[in-house]
Amino acid sequence: MRKIQVNASSSYNVIIEKDALLRVGEYCLDALGGTCRVCILTDTNVAPLYLDKVKKGLLASGFDTLEFIIESGEASKSTENLVRLVEFMAENRLTRKDVLVALGGGVVGDLGGFAAAVYLRGIRFVQLPTTLLAATDSSVGGKTAVDLKAGKNLMGAFYQPTLVICDYSTLDTLDAEVFSDGCAEVIKYGVIGNRKLFDKLQNGIAAQIEEIIADCVQMKADIVEEDEHDNGKRQLLNLGHTVGHAIEVCSEFEISHGRAVAMGMAIISKAAYKLGYCKKEDVEEIIALLEKEGLPTECPYGADELFSVATADKKRAGDEICVVIPFGIGECRLVRIPVSELCGLIAKGLE
Ligand code: GLY
């Protein structure tokens, strides 16, 4: 078992432990300081696997539970579901003393966190991530959101959880493709600032899962402590994401987030090499590791197509866009470039 403290605007623990869901009641009691009513948000994939376990654990520790189940998939991260969930909590008279528990992957965590942020101007919430992506990235750091018609994550808040419990035995039930989506985010951590982690990943991610999740969460905790509101260093976590988001949109979300980010990292690394920022061997190592974890590195779209979508990205600031550039493995920097140069940069990465 590993416990990592995140010191953001509020402090909380991330517990990383095999079968931690069996102790969910005990951990919640400790972090919340007493019993209360708990609204468990989960989805149609996760509910049959883990909802009973979580409910039983909470009930055994004296919590009173109710549940709200959404369809699995990105389409559920909607304003409609946000309103339905908040209405549900209101109809059930949840008070400011009560808690929302988000049991699932990134969609459940982001939607649940945002509902907790706005219901009664803020109730506490607990993240129980069940995917590698949620365990290593989205459940930690307080980015909560829903999607709008104009784009992903356009309505949200920075709102920190009270506790994160990562039971990594839940990763055993993931499809290989969903697991490898999370591997893209894990590899990202190695590339942005941790050569030691990157080297460790060569020995296989699944085989060292507890240690690897802990390394990623510790990096995220350090970054969030320094830049909770995403004004500087936190933007490094967007490596491969500007192009990755454009790939997701071009594919009408047929290409998953992790796969798109893998392609985005490959493109930006190749461009960085062509512009003389990093070595050819760095690019080869990044691409080899992505491919080893079953991730794609060739993109089916052209530079013009990706550029026109990427310039609608929320990371754009006026006529400039901030791009995360690898200067080596374990060393990325934020580089602000004129928007007009982005197309050329993407084209270099696609050559
Ligand atoms: N997932 C990127 C961030 O939390 O900043």
Write down the pLDDT at residue 269.
98
Q: Work out the angle between the directed axes of helices 303-310 and 241-250 (0-180°, nearest 10).
A: 100
| DSSP 3-state of 158 | strand
pLDDT > 80? residue 281: yes
Write down the pLDDT at residue 315.
57
Pocket test for ligand 1, best of 136, 143, 192, 257 (most atoms within 8 A of CB): 143
* Residues at CB less than 6 angstroms from ligand 1: 137-138, 141, 143, 230, 234, 237
Atom of ligand 1 nearest to the CA of 237: 2
Gap from CA of 143 to ligand 1 centroid (Å): 7
pLDDT > 70? residue 34: yes
pLDDT > 80? residue 150: yes
Report DSSP state, residue 278.
S
Gap from CA of 101 to ligand 1 centroid (Å): 20
Gap from CA of 93 to ligand 1 centroid (Å): 32
pLDDT > 60? residue 314: no
pLDDT tens-place string over residues 57-82: 999 999 999 999 999 999 999 999 99
- Other beta carbons within 10 Å of 210: 14
At position 20, the amino acid (one-letter code) is A
pLDDT tens-place string over residues 203-259: 999 999 999 999 999 999 999 999 999 999 999 999 999 999 999 999 998 999 999
Write down the pLDDT at residue 139.
98
Gap from CA of 52 to ligand 1 centroid (Å): 30
Residue-by-residue DSSP string for 196-239: HHHHHHTT-SGGGHHHHHHHHHHHHHHHHHH-TTSSSGGGGGGT
Tell me the C-alpha to C-alpha distance, in Å, between residue 214 and each of 60, 152, 202, 205, 221: 28, 28, 17, 12, 10
With pLDDT > 90 as the criterion, what percentage of the chain qualifies?
Answer: 94
